[in-house]
Chains A and B, each alone.
Chain A
Amino acid sequence: MKRELLDQLLADRAAQRTVVVATHLASGDQRLIHPGDDDPLAAEAALAIQSDKPRTAETADGDVFLNVFNPPLRMIIVGAVHIAQALAPMAAMTGYDVTIVDPRQAWATPERFPDIRILDAWPDEALAELQPDHRTAIVTLTHDPKLDDPALQAALSSDAFYIGSLGSRGTHAKRIQRLETAGFDESRHSRIHGPVGLNIGAKSPAEIAVSIMGQVTAALRGVAA
């Protein structure tokens, strides 16, 4: 590996950019492939990125090993509510770097969320700061349009791989109407999972957290659920 390539790899990593190191195994020749690059192995690299697993591409010149360097998985939870108290540690255990966003300081306290990062900011400001990417899941749990709507609008303008919003069918239908009024047509708002979570008959906050975590996992792994 050339030093310049390693330095670029370290810089990509520090900036939380996804990158694939392509190595021609017979010669050791290497290059970096970023998402969107015009590269003969772009499609193979995209598969590796999606599955977060390295793969070997067979080419006319021989095997090329594609090693994936994805930024860490993140989950942004809007609403420091009861379900968040179950979902945050569950997501952390599943390998996500979790941030809770809630401007209501009585809710977002370290006592309620030990060891979880808390941002007491408005959701649109918080999302502008956190810059969700294709390795980020965003879940809104407040039911309050003042908090959920700006979060969803910011989420829909990002590459987040999962967007979920808590609320009954009726609540969700009204939410969709407001988003359409704000200029988000169906091709955009259909990304939102609402009512949030897999249909497993969840009742308690922890059970609802399980149903959300299951749906997030399915989205990450590219399985319909």
Chain B
Amino acid sequence: MSTETRDILQSAADWQAAGRKVALATVVSTWGSAPRPAGSQLAIAENGDFVGSVSGGCVEGAVVAEALEIMRSGTPKQLDFGVSNDEAWEVGLACGGKISVFVERLE
């Protein structure tokens, strides 16, 4: 496991210990030239702070927005991003890849 992953999960734990709502996003599959491999993670706090990455910047904004909603609802969700998926998402991957991201609340 990389040092980066270490810091992401520890940040999630620390934020929650400090009384903040936290969500975790994980890349679960990729197609084509996706910028981050499956397993890459992003931890999001309720004020919008985040550490880690799921795409190298292309879709983090949309993932954070969705994560804030999931922090409230508690219902995990799988989000698909990609240039060929134009009806569902306006944000795409400039590189032409597709990724699927699982977002969950830290209970």
On A, residues with C-beta under 8 Å from B are 1-3, 6-7, 9-10, 13, 23, 25, 27-28, 53-56, 65, 67-72
Which of A3, A9, A72 has the most B CB atoms < 10 Å from its CB?
Answer: A3
Q: Which of B5, B28, B104 contacts A56 (CB under 8 A)? A: B28
Residues of B in contact (CB 8 Å), total: 23
A53 touching B38 by the CB < 8 A rule? yes
B contacts, CB < 8 Å to A: 1, 5-6, 9-10, 12-13, 16, 24, 26, 28-29, 37-39, 75-76, 78, 102, 104-107
Provide the main secondary structure of the chain A interface.
Answer: mixed
Complex: chain A residue closest to B6, CB-CB: A13
Chain B hits for A9, CB < 8 A: 9
| Chain A residues whose C-beta falls within 8 Å of the C-beta of B6 in the assembled complex | 13
Of all chain A residues, which has the CB nearest B41?
A67
Residue of A6, A28, A56 touching B9 (CB-CB under 8 A): A6
CB of A141 to closest CB in B, whole Å? 28
A contact residues around B106 at 8 Å (CB): 1, 3, 6
Chain B residues, CB < 8 A from A54: 28, 38-39
Give the Cβ gap from B27 to chain A, nearest Cβ, in Å: 8
